[in-house]
Each structure stands twice: as C-alpha cells, then as structure tokens.
Amino acid sequence: MLCIAGTIPADDFPLMEGEVELRGEQLRIGSSFIAVNRGTPALLAAAVKAAETLGRPSPFAYLVGDTGTGKGSRRLYEHMTEVLPRSSFGTIAFHYLQPIIHWHNKIQAVLGKLTPRPRLIADAGFMYAAKMSGAASLYDLFTPDVGELAFLADEEAPHPFYTRGFILHEDNHVPDLIVRAYKHRNAARHLLVKGEKDYLADETGILATVEHPAEEAMEAIGGTGDTLTGLVSVLIDAGMNMREAAVAAMRANRLAGRYAQPTPATQIAEIIRHIPRALRQVLEGQVIR
C-alpha cells in the first residue's frame, strides 16, 4: 500500500490518518474534507485518481494542518515515529513538511529498521531535510523541479533559498546539475526532475527524458509537480520498475496538462480532472505528441 505524509494549509486541521478518497471536488479522510489545491492535497488527488485508474487501493495518508509555523509538522513527525514501526507500507512518499533535520533523522532511524524496507520517495520540504541531513542516498526517489535540483547540486546550501548564484545560473543545464548532485551525494538513488523537459537519472547518468506534449504554461501552475509526484508514487507502488513508472508518470502528467488546455492562470484541479484519461492512454501505449 502507498502511504503519503504531508500537510494541509490550515492550522485547525487535526492530525488525521486513514485512506483518502475523492468526493466530488474534495478529498475526504475520516470525517474531514479538504479542498483540492496545490501542495499535498494536489498530490493526494492525483494519487487517488491514478489508483482508481489502476484498480489499486486508495492511498493511506498521515496529514496535519500546518501553515508554516512547523507546529503541525512536528506533531506529524512525532506521530509517525510512533506508528511507523507497526506499519507495512510498500511505498512511502513524504511531501510538504517543515524541513527539520533532527525530526528527519528520527523518522529515518525508524524507517531503517522496517523489514521489508518500503520504497521511499521524498519531495518538497521533506526532500530538503533529507538532503540537509546528508541522508539523500537512503531514498529511492527525489522529485525536484529545476530550482530544487540546483539546491541539491549545491553542496553548501541548506535550503533552496541559499543556492549560490553560480549554480542557479546553470539551471538550463540540468544534466550538469544532476552530475553535481550525485558527485556530492546529495541525490536519491533516482532523480525525477520536473521542468520544460522531464528527466529520470541515477548516478550513472540520464536514464530517460520526456518532453512531449509540451505546454509552456505548466511551469507557472502551482501543483503540477505535486501531481507528478502523486502519479509516480502510485505507479511505483503498483510494482512498476523505476524507469517504467517515471516515464509513464511524466507522460501522463504532461498529457493531463494538454487536455486542460492550460494558461498560466489555470488551477491545478482543472488538470487533475484529466488524469484518468491521460494515464489510461499512456498505459495503453498510445503515442503522444
């Protein structure tokens, strides 16, 4: 089963755990409903749609409200250190959490004792914490955008906010940044880099790229990276190997964007609606241009 851990942008949202489903335009977990918008709700909505398309169980989520103070994230970290030892998730995706090194390390200490070891995916704040902790190589997949890749490539930056200028300037040279991230051991076993062209790479180099269909407006739309992480998480949990899962997710995310006929003002919920059709088409092997 796929587990997703992240935050909801409301301080009064309680710590919740359970399977997540879509009810109309909203996510439901327990008795709580969540609007589908950028961040962990977008990842969850994409994952629910993808799981439905594949006939897989809905993802299980650990969620808490946090608007940036980190209070909710700390509660979630603490809770997960208590419950994960009794869990049996096949895949865990960590998402929008306050990047706090010592809490990351506590989570990682628990994960290291799980047998069998779940596949580990990190994006957003938790990916920042994993890199800062020097533990990147313990993860199976990071899903940075190009700005975050520059942060991974900068061995001195503790947060993307401090990425040095000479590295930021190289952001049109994704392959060079990938090499640098691996050289300093700041990349997971695989990197899925989201951008004008999407990349899958490991320490041996670039394994695959996807650049069609191309919708320039996608970069401006908040949540398109979250949906891609949701898609690849479901496909990995379904048993696909990393290359199959990443390429299918990159294609399906782009195709869902194409179907939404996006402008820079398009909201992520409009793209998520098209995920089932796009994913089905990709998995059926239809050529997309």
Radius of gyration of the chain (CA): 17
How far apart are CB 65 and other proteins at their closest, in Å?
9
Pairwise CA distance, residues 86 & 165, whole Å = 44
Chain Cα centroid distance, residue 103:
19
Q: 21 — alpha (psi -120 to 50), left (phi > 0) or beta?
A: beta
For tokens 């997703």, the residue is 4
Q: Is 81 in the site for other proteins (CB under 8 A)?
A: no
Scanning 4-12, 113-121, 181-189, 247-255 for contacts with other proteins by CB under 8 A, the matching segment is: 4-12
Cβ–Cβ under 8 Å, residues 169 and 118: no
How far apart are CB 73 and other proteins at their closest, in Å?
6
Among 26, 67, 137, 281, contact with other proteins (rule: CB under 8 A): 67
Cβ–Cβ under 8 Å, residues 58 and 51: yes
List of residues 6+ apart from 204 with CB closer than 8 A: none
Scanning 19-27, 110-118, 243-251, 262-270 for contacts with other proteins by CB under 8 A, the matching segment is: 262-270
Q: Is 48 in the site for other proteins (CB under 8 A)?
A: no
Upper half-sphere CA count for residue 131 (Cβ side, 13 Å): 31
Scanning 20-28, 80-88, 204-212, 216-224 for contacts with other proteins by CB under 8 A, the matching segment is: 216-224
Site string for other proteins, 177-206 (x = CB under 8 A): ------------------------------
Q: Is 12 in the site for other proteins (CB under 8 A)?
A: no
Alpha-carbon distances of 12 from 16, 171, 246, 256, rounded to whole Å: 12, 38, 35, 32
25 vs 216, which CB is nearer to other proteins?
A: 216
Residue 288 DSSP SS3:
coil
For residue 234 the two structure tokens come to 């479901």
How far apart are CB 214 and other proteins at their closest, in Å?
14
71 vs 277, which CB is nearer to other proteins?
A: 71
Pairing of strands 141-142, 91-94: unpaired
Q: Is 128 in the site for other proteins (CB under 8 A)?
A: yes
Q: Is 263 in the site for other proteins (CB under 8 A)?
A: yes
Pairwise CA distance, residues 4 & 288, whole Å = 30
For residue 174 the two structure tokens come to 């994704």
Q: Is 99 in the site for other proteins (CB under 8 A)?
A: yes
Torsion of CA 70, 76, 80, 81, to 10 degrees: 40
Among 14, 25, 33, 69, contact with other proteins (rule: CB under 8 A): 69
124 vs 282, which CB is nearer to other proteins?
A: 124
Q: Is 160 in the site for other proteins (CB under 8 A)?
A: yes
For tokens 């869990």, the residue is 87
146 vs 231, which CB is nearer to other proteins?
A: 146
Q: Is 120 in the site for other proteins (CB under 8 A)?
A: no
Q: Is 287 in the site for other proteins (CB under 8 A)?
A: no
Give the binding site for other proteins (CB under 8 A).
Answer: 7-10, 37-41, 66-70, 72-73, 96-102, 123-129, 132, 145, 147-148, 151, 156-165, 168-169, 171, 216-217, 219-225, 263-267
